[in-house]
Amino acid sequence: MANLCREDLVRALPYARRYARALTGNQGRGDSMVADSLRDLLAGQAALGEARHSLYHAITRRFDGLNTLKTNFLTGGLSQVQRQLLLLTSLEEVPIQVAASIVQLPMAEAETQLAEARAHLRAGAATDVLIIEDEPIIAMDIEELVQNCGHNVVGVATTEAEAVKLAELHKPGLILADINLGIGGDGTSAVARIMRHHYAPVIFVTAYPERLLTGEDLEPAYVITKPFEPLTLAIATYQAVTGGVRLD
């Protein structure tokens, strides 16, 4: 591991956690996979370029080792490798050339798989979505993006109290929440209150994902970074609604 240092790996951990959590659909399983992958790299497993890409590679190898049906494993219509390519290129903003190496596919095949996966997204699972966002313009943009992904927006909450009320009324299948609601409260507190009475997958939106993905306490399985592209939101909502790729 001559080309990697411990400090670089530590700085890459929040992004590795985001990838692993989105891939598995669960904070605990994702964080455990990151810890095992980090040990692999520290023990001398071959690195793939920079620390962040090396962690993605190690996580993907471990995931594939647990899931032997790499080609035919389908959940919601996407194969395992298609989900990996979508997450790597859009959520983690990895160049397709690097993503192809991470999933161990020839470049041409990776491009084909990624194109098929993107084309399939609009046919993915649709659900009722509650948006928690206090900035009106951002809320309208998110609402439009969510609807373009094929989902139905049941409400837009600007405060913690309003979010709890709307969730109780509509029982959404997905919650898209900002962290900071200004004087209206806190998005994480709103979600915690909602979860006492109604469970739904949650995507948190934040400009500082590294502050949220510490690996401590209860944290989200799905996080996207502001500002985000429409495709990033489409992939995150698809992963959340279909539950990621299970390890069972």
DSSP string, 150-162: T-EEEEEESSHHH
pLDDT range class, residue 247, cuts 50, 70, 90: very low
Q: What are the φ and ψ backbone dihedral angles of 211, each rounded to 5 degrees?
A: -75, -20
Identify whether 94 is part of a domain.
Answer: yes
How much is the pLDDT for 67?
Answer: 62
How much is the pLDDT for 97?
Answer: 95
pLDDT tens, residue by residue, 110-123? 999 999 888 877 66
Structure tokens at 233: 């939101």
Identify whether 247 is part of a domain.
Answer: no
Confidence check: pLDDT of 129 > 50: yes
Among 62-76, 125-139, 225-239, the range of highest mean pLDDT = 125-139
How much is the pLDDT for 117?
Answer: 86
Domain count, the chain: 2
Query: Does residue 140 sit in the same domain as residue 109?
Result: no
pLDDT tens, residue by residue, 37-75? 998 888 876 667 788 999 999 999 988 877 644 433 444
Q: What percent of the chain has pLDDT over 90?
A: 41
Average pLDDT over all residues of the chain: 84
Whether the ω angle into residue 227 lies within 30 degrees of 0, i.e. cis, is yes
Query: Does residue 103 sit in the same domain as residue 177?
Result: no
Query: Does residue 154 sit in the same domain as residue 169?
Result: yes
Q: Are 159 and 184 in contact (CB under 8 A)?
A: yes
Query: Does residue 132 sit in the same domain as residue 88?
Result: no
pLDDT tens, residue by residue, 70-114? 433 444 577 889 989 999 998 898 999 999 999 999 999 999 999
How much is the pLDDT for 140?
Answer: 92
pLDDT tens, residue by residue, 8-40? 888 899 999 999 998 888 888 899 999 999 988
Give the residue ranges of DSSP H helices in the chain.
6-24, 27-42, 51-66, 80-86, 96-102, 107-120, 136-148, 160-170, 187-195, 209-212, 230-242
Query: Does residue 144 sit in the same domain as residue 74?
Result: no
How much is the pLDDT for 212?
Answer: 72
Query: Does residue 66 sit in the same domain as residue 134?
Result: no
pLDDT range class, residue 175, cuts 50, 70, 90: very high
Identify whether 24 is part of a domain.
Answer: yes
Query: Does residue 47 sit in the same domain as residue 97?
Result: yes
Q: Please give the model's pTM, rounded to 2 decimal places.
A: 0.74
Domain hosting residue 64, numbered range: 6-122
Query: Does residue 195 sit in the same domain as residue 216?
Result: yes
Identify whether 137 is part of a domain.
Answer: yes
Confidence check: pLDDT of 165 > 70: yes
How much is the pLDDT for 218?
Answer: 63
Query: Does residue 83 sit in the same domain as residue 157?
Result: no
Domain boundary among 105, 122, 139: 122
Identify whether 1 is part of a domain.
Answer: no
Query: Does residue 63 sit in the same domain as residue 147?
Result: no
Give the Cα separation of 23 and 117 in Å (integer). Answer: 15
Give the Cα separation of 129 and 67 in Å (integer). Answer: 30
Average pLDDT over residues 216-240: 79
Query: Does residue 160 sit in the same domain as residue 110?
Result: no
